[in-house]
């Protein structure tokens, strides 16, 4: 049982194979602790890993993509034409971003694949998209620089990267209660939240999209939203399909930090701060660029292990905890004591 005196910390994962949420929670907390150590906040590491600082949850929804069946290999038969068309659109925008990188300018293989992907200069329509997608995924992994940067060794790897976002954004796949897949996924995130307590939310990759949409209907306090490796601003098919519209910072969010690495192949060049509308209190995402200089930077634990990411998470949780403790002391103290002043000081420091 969690304590009502502590804030909550909720992690929201991105795409991937089925995973053990308990093991993932330990791994993500360990990575965040490493970031805290790098930020010279070692005193809070035990408080984090032992859940003294906050009640931590890993919002898991990966099983909803498989409906209890083994993870598919990502073949063309796994997506209908509408889903395949969404993947083609995402892939086209990804290749457009890659073509703009200095190291890829003049790459004939990349230019040839882009021409094959959209021969008329427009994204592939629904008709026959599934057949075209498999051919294009096979062609993309034959472009050495791009395949290496995205860690794609096969066409299945390409489809695995984009098929889950496509199914989420399609907003279909209703269950026996007529609830769509994206609604069921957001419900998993909302189950981890507690409106009675402040919650820090960290969303990675597709998880940033899911967290953003889930918080749009949430009424509890969120002192900090952190998005890492987020594709929210992807113009082709993510941005225009976001809900609600026009996309704006959720009302419940007090602060939004969007971390992106310059070498993260999933993050578009278009920045959230330039696209998302502020909420009623003027809160907009603050873009914060990282430079890891690593071969693969998109992993959640890679981001969490950075001091720049861990520091605001740890400091926010600490400030909120102090405020909650001060409020409790004021509630249980006789009138006229200094407890109210202590609470006020804690609130200011947060």
Domain spans, the chain: 8-64+179-307, 76-170, 318-349
pLDDT cut 90: percent of the chain above it: 47
> Residue 53 has what DSSP assignment?
S
What is d(CA 9, CA 333) in angstroms, rounded to the nearest whole number? 29
> If you average pLDDT over residues 160-168, what whole number do you get?
85
What is d(CA 104, CA 122) in angstroms, rounded to the nearest whole number? 22
Short-list 312, 309, 328, 255, CA closest to 285: 255
pLDDT cut 70: percent of the chain above it: 84
Q: Residue 261 forms beta bridges with which residues? A: 290
> If you average pLDDT over residues 36-57, what whole number do you get?
93
> If you average pLDDT over residues 173-196, what whole number do you get?
95
What is d(CA 160, CA 162) in angstroms, rounded to the nearest whole number? 6
> For residue 102, what pLDDT is reported?
82
Where are the strands (E) in the chain, listed by range?
Answer: 8-12, 55-59, 199-204, 224-228, 256-261, 285-290
> For residue 340, what pLDDT is reported?
43
Cα–Cα distances (Å) from 46 to 51, 52, 55, 199, 301, in that order, read 8, 8, 13, 19, 18
**pLDDT band (50, 70, 90) for residue 72:** very low
pLDDT tens digits for 80-90? 777 888 888 88
What is d(CA 133, CA 112) in angstroms, rounded to the nearest whole number? 15
pLDDT tens digits for 264-288? 878 887 678 888 999 999 999 999 9
Q: Is 38 helix (H, G, I), strand (E, B) or coil?
A: helix
Short-list 99, 76, 105, CA closest to 88: 76
Q: Considering the chain, what is the average pLDDT of its residues?
A: 84
In sequence order, which residues have a C-beta less than 8 Å from that of residue 33 and are 6 or more positions away?
Answer: 45, 48, 49, 310
pLDDT tens digits for 301-319? 999 999 999 999 999 999 9
> For residue 335, what pLDDT is reported?
57
**pLDDT band (50, 70, 90) for residue 3:** low
> If you average pLDDT over residues 47-55, what whole number do you get?
92
pLDDT tens digits for 192-242? 999 999 999 999 999 999 999 999 999 999 999 999 999 998 887 788 899
Tracing tokens 């005196």 back to the chain, one arrives at 5
Judge whether 198 and 252 are in contact, CB under 8 Å. no
In sequence order, which residues have a C-beta less than 8 Å from that of residue 178 and are 6 or more positions away?
Answer: none
Residues in the chain: 350
* Backbone Cα Rg of the chain: 22
End-to-end CA distance of the chain, in Å?
26
Region of poorest pLDDT, from 75-79, 169-173, 268-272, 279-283: 75-79
Cα–Cα distances (Å) from 155 to 97, 106, 111, 148, 161, in that order, read 19, 24, 18, 13, 10
- Is residue 11 classed exposed, middle or buried when 0-12, 13-18 and 19+ CB atoms within 10 A define those classes? buried
Tracing tokens 């073509």 back to the chain, one arrives at 99
CATH 3.40.50 fits 8-64+179-307, yes or no: yes
Element housing 323 (H / E): helix 307-332
Short-list 302, 149, 313, 164, CA closest to 229: 302
Judge whether 220 and 252 are in contact, CB under 8 Å. yes
């Amino acid at each position: 049982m969690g304590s009502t005196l502590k804030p909550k910390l909720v992690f929201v994962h991105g795409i991937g194979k089925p995973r053990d949420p308990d093991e993932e929670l330990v791994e993500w907390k360990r990575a965040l602790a490493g970031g805290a150590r790098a930020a010279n906040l070692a005193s809070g590491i035990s408080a984090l890993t032992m859940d003294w600082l906050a009640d931590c949850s890993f919002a898991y929804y990966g099983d909803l993509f498989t409906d209890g069946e083994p993870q598919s290999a990502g073949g063309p038969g796994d997506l209908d034409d509408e889903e395949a068309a969404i993947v083609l659109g995402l892939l086209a925008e990804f290749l457009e971003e890659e073509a703009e990188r200095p190291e890829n300018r003049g790459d004939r293989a990349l230019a040839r694949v882009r021409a094959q992907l959209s021969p008329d200069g427009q994204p592939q329509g629904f008709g026959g998209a599934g057949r075209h997608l498999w051919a294009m995924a096979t062609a993309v992994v034959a472009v050495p620089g791009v395949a290496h940067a995205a860690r794609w060794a096969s066409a299945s790897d390409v489809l695995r990267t984009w098929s889950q976002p496509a199914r989420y954004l399609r907003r279909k796949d209703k269950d026996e209660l007529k609830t769509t897949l994206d609604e069921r996924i957001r419900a998993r995130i909302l189950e981890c939240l507690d409106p009675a307590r402040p919650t820090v939310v960290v969303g990675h990759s597709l998880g940033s999209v899911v967290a953003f949409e889930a918080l749009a209907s949430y009424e509890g306090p969120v002192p900090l939203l952190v998005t890492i490796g987020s594709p929210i601003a992807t113009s082709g098919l993510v941005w225009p399909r976001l809900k609600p519209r026009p996309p704006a910072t959720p009302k419940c969010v007090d602060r939004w930090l969007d971390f992106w690495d310059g070498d993260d192949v999933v993050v578009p060049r278009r920045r959230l701060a330039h696209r998302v509308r502020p909420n009623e209190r003027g809160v907009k995402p603050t873009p914060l660029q990282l430079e890891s200089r690593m071969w693969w930077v998109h992993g959640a634990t890679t981001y969490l292990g950075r001091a720049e990411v861990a520091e605001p998470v740890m400091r926010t949780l600490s400030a909120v905890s102090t405020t909650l403790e001060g409020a409790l002391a004021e509630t249980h103290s006789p009138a006229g004591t200094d407890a109210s002043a202590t609470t006020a000081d804690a609130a200011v420091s947060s």
